[in-house]
Amino acid sequence: MIRIISDVHGAATALQRVTAQPGLLLILGDLINFIDYRDNSGIVADVAGRSFVADVVRARARRDFAGARELWRAHREGREDELRAHYAAAIDAAYAEICAPLNGVEAVLTYGNVDNVDVMLRYLPESAKFIEAGTITVSGQTFGIVGGGVPTINSPGELSNKEMATRLDSIGPVDVLCTHVAPDVGPLATDVLGGLAKGSVAVRAYLERHQPEYHYFGDIHQPQAVSWKFGKTRCINVGYFRATGRVVHHHAG
């Protein structure tokens, strides 16, 4: 049995409860809490204040990504070095806290759109295996794991559609696809808060081409649907762990 979660976003106490249970744990990215869109808390609020976060959230809800980027530019202007140091310290502390419960745990991780892979790797314990794009085999089933998010406001883990397609091509056909991002399928890719849709065209194309039995993903915190049959593939959103503490169990073999 494999336990699958996504969008941990700093929920260290809930993660500790999960890691106390037996079985391989697969984490599909977004370990730290950069912005919690429910209450505007997180690293950005700690550094820049909740008023700034509220402005960014409103811009994103309007799908005004250019406006959101402009808010970030104005926020940084003239204080680049100072803010870089503040954010770096906060991100380091966040990864140290969220990776601690994984010590001694059999875990496989990839990354999401808010993750900084270099910092994550500094804090991951030896028992946890990081996969950017690759496969694992469990009980005769091949799991393809591909990290990264879709482009929105230049978060550290965002990938272009071409980059995502290249990574998906590199794993070839699998029994179970695991990504951070949702496929570009309306009900799975649309967040009901603000109507923001950010599914991956490359992931959808992979599903159309290879038709794995399952596709597990996260990223969309309040989706219109958490499960959807797309061709022969059962697509399942396993997040939003920070809010739900939800663990999806996959019985391999």
CATH number of domain containing 123: 3.60.21.10
Answer whether residue 175 is part of any domain.
yes
pLDDT value of position 192: 85
Q: Which stretches within the chain are classed as H helix?
A: 12-19, 43-48, 50-61, 65-76, 80-99, 117-123, 161-171, 186-189, 201-210, 241-244
Answer whether residue 121 is part of any domain.
yes
pLDDT value of position 37: 82
Answer whether residue 50 is part of any domain.
no
Answer whether residue 48 is part of any domain.
no
Range of the domain at 185: 2-33+102-250
pLDDT value of position 1: 86
Tokens, residue 188 = 């799975």
pLDDT tens digits along 191-219:
887 667 789 999 999 999 999 999 999 99
Answer whether residue 70 is part of any domain.
no
Tokens, residue 167 = 């990574």
pLDDT value of position 253: 64
pLDDT tens digits along 123-145:
999 999 999 999 999 999 999 99
pLDDT value of position 194: 60
Which of 97, 89, 123, 88 has its CA nearest to residue 109? Answer: 123
pLDDT value of position 63: 76
Total of domains in the chain: 1
| Low pLDDT (below 70) residues in the chain | 194-195, 253
Answer whether residue 62 is part of any domain.
no
